[in-house]
Structure 1
Amino acid sequence: MSRLPGIALSVLLVALLPACSRHDAVTYQGYVEGEFVYLGSSQSGKLKQLSVTRGQTVAADAPLFSLESDDESHALVQARQQLAAARAQLTDIQTGKRLPEVDVNRAQLAEAVAHARKASLQLTRDEAQYSAGGIAKAQLDDSRANADATAAQVRALTSQVEVARLPARSQQIVEQQAQVAAAEAAVAQAQWKLDQKRVTAPAKGLVYDTLYREGEWVPAGSPIVRILPPQNVKVRFFAPETVLGQLTPDRRVTLHCDGCAADVPARITYVSSEAEYTPPVIYSNESRAKLVFMVEARPSVADATKLHPGQPVSVALQ
């Protein structure tokens, strides 16, 4: 009877040893890595306002910083005024002459019609007088020439009235439309440059660092804020060549880290196609065990905030 507890303890130890071995066999060392987003402006300028601090979590579209933008604001106002002028000129040439100008042409036409009617009546009288021998041939010729001249003037003024009602020639309209399009492009460019002086967060994330202080001059393209969106957190670990066939994209793994309240689930997203370490010997059955391959896994967005770049982790395959 006294040997039963000892036998039971021996069986329990034997049962635990394979479990521990299996746990050690599928556990690999790795570390947390962050794909940081470096945010700056395409325009240079003095840093006017820094709206975030290091360690702060910001929402998408939250303001991060702004540069001085007086020149860009003035350029935008100028471009908008030039666009308004170009559009007004296009409208003017599309509608033809103004109504008062048309009225002047009509009055001139009415006067010319009256002169032509008078000259026509005078020609009729002179023709009768010439037939009766009352006037010389030269006087009749003068009357006929005056009647022809006044009639021609009526025709010319009639054409002017019709032209005054028409818009400008099609070539002039096309040219002015091009001027309007160029002015619109100038406004868009000025607006874009102004917008570049105010930068917002492209996504929710942790402000990992700020690289300039307010009042400092920032060259174009220099990053000012470095943020880490949770979807950019990943884990890199190294697995031996012997388990390479088991490492497939979307396979589940478990991440264990010191200080974590619980293990973090993740999924494999990438498996390197090349060995990270090659021994300086000819491949053999013994040396192949020294080959390791880099594997990347990503936790969910909700769990990513539990991990920190540079943090060592243990990875267990599921």
Structure 2
Amino acid sequence: MRKSLPVLALIGVIGALGAWYWYGWQETSLPAGLVSANGRTEAGRIDISAKSSGRLDEVLAREGDMVEAGAVVAVMDAAEVDARLREAEAVVRQTEEGLNEAHALLAQRESERVYAERELNRAEQLAERGYTPAETVDLRRAQHKTAVAAVASAKAGIARANASIEAAKATVERIAADRDDHFLRAPRAGRVQYRLAEPGEIVAAGGRVLSLLDLTDVYMTVYLPTDAAGRLRFGAEARLVFDAAPDYVVPASVTYVASEAQFTPRYVETASEREKLMFRVKVTLPPDVLERHRDVVKTGVPGVAYIRLDPSVPWPESLAVRLPDVR
């Protein structure tokens, strides 16, 4: 055991020296104005969750499946909401019948008003000739006013029936929206990374069912020292070369530079310590490239990012864009 410790220490030193030599050789082999750093591909993650608690009925996607935006990937049990929807639809039909009744009542009240108006006119004409007493005229006038009020009440009944129909239809729409929420859909195209629940399980409100990788947002995170990060521009051109496919060079651009350094002492006092500052940089692949090659896009693939600090420096021939053929 004691003999193995010096051997392990020697191996560690040799490895560190080898890494330092390789990094130094790589940096010196690049033209001035270009820097490189190691990293792994990552992608935005989308969690598909249940809006309300309930039993999971179906999961229609498996890990590794590619799903399109809007595709149904899981279904929650909707027996209870289906019953509420049928009840609400029955209320709509009932209120519509109430509207028909209100229209029929209005027609009846309008007929009664017309009859009362004619009776009032006859009574007034006969009273002018002295054939009808004033009491009869007053009675006909009261009957006419009652008929007019009844017409107004019937019209108000139609308005109430229309309002009831609108309220009932709104309830149907709300319940239908609740039912639609039982169909879990992919908000955008992506590949299923994890299947987090299985049919028959009870899922809490907000419980995750599937996790997708957003293949329209794929990037490599690298770390650059102070001198490089300070000269870096947002949108700077970059090239990615992956260990698994060294023959291809993928275009990219800088989309994020951290505002705070990492891997640094708590208090930076000297210039030599400031040189140890490392800033996180995100290098993102263009959406059109991702769309054309999404069947081969993966996360966690290691590689090297080459970033152009000086826009006037041309790319070496070895870093010219080379992409696989799309078939």
TM range (shorter): 0.7 to 0.9
Matched-pair contact (CA < 8 Å) for 2:27–2:35: no
Paired letter, 1:154: R
Q: For 2:162 and 2:126, how far apart are their aligned partners in 1?
A: 48
Match of 1:262 among 234, 248, 260: 248
Matched, 1:288 2:274: yes
Match of 2:286 among 294, 300, 318: 300
Matched-pair contact (CA < 8 Å) for 1:34–1:309: yes
Matches within 5 A, 1:118-267: 147-166=133-152, 168=154, 179-260=164-245, 261-267=247-253
Matched-pair contact (CA < 8 Å) for 2:65–2:192: yes
Paired letter, 1:183: A
Matched, 1:32 2:34: no
Matched-pair contact (CA < 8 Å) for 2:268–2:274: no
Match of 2:87 among 78, 83, 94: 78
Q: For 1:282 and 1:164, how far apart are their aligned partners in 2?
A: 89
Structure 1 residue 37 displacement after superposition:
0.2
Structure 1 residue 178 displacement after superposition:
5.4
Structure 1 residue 276 displacement after superposition:
0.8
Paired letter, 1:66: V
Matched, 1:99 2:107: yes
Q: For 1:262 and 1:205, how far apart are their aligned partners in 2?
A: 23
Matched-pair contact (CA < 8 Å) for 2:44–2:215: no
Aligned to 1:314: 304
Structure 1 residue 88 displacement after superposition:
5.3
Q: For 1:114 and 1:244, how far apart are their aligned partners in 2?
A: 101
Match of 1:23 among 20, 24, 30: 30
Which structure has more relative contact order (CA 8 Å, sep 6+)? It is 1
- SS of the equivalent of 1:279 reads coil
Q: 1:151 to 1:263 in 2, by over 3 A?
A: same
Q: What's the C-alpha RMSD, in Å, of the aligned pairs?
A: 3.5
Q: For 2:60 and 2:49, how far apart are their aligned partners in 1?
A: 14
Structure showing greater radius of gyration is: 1
Paired letter, 1:199: L
Matched-pair contact (CA < 8 Å) for 1:32–1:307: no
Matched-pair contact (CA < 8 Å) for 1:209–1:227: yes
183-192 or 227-236: bigger deviation:
183-192
Structure 1 residue 31 displacement after superposition:
1.9
Matched-pair contact (CA < 8 Å) for 2:109–2:147: no
Q: For 2:26 and 2:57, how far apart are their aligned partners in 1?
A: 61
Matched, 1:67 2:57: no
Paired letter, 2:38: Q
Q: For 1:33 and 1:99, how far apart are their aligned partners in 2?
A: 72
Q: For 2:217 and 2:114, how far apart are their aligned partners in 1?
A: 76
Structure 2 gaps of 5+ residues are 1-23, 309-327
Matched, 1:278 2:286: no
C-alpha offsets along residues 234-253 of structure 1, whole Å, 9 cap, x if unaligned? 11000011112332111111
Q: For 1:194 and 1:58, how far apart are their aligned partners in 2?
A: 22
Question: Aligned residue pairs: how many?
Answer: 278
Percent identity between matched residues is 22
TM-score (norm 2): 0.71
Q: 1:315 to 1:44 in 2, by over 3 A?
A: same
Matched-pair contact (CA < 8 Å) for 1:66–1:198: yes
Structure 1 residue 175 displacement after superposition:
6.1
Paired letter, 1:68: D
Matched-pair contact (CA < 8 Å) for 1:210–1:226: yes
| Greater helix proportion | 1
Q: For 2:26 and 2:45, how far apart are their aligned partners in 1?
A: 39
Q: For 1:237 and 1:20, how far apart are their aligned partners in 2?
A: 15
TM-score (norm 1): 0.73
Q: For 1:256 and 1:149, how far apart are their aligned partners in 2?
A: 107
Structure 1 gaps of 5+ residues are 1-16, 125-145
Q: 1:252 to 1:115 in 2, by over 3 A?
A: closer
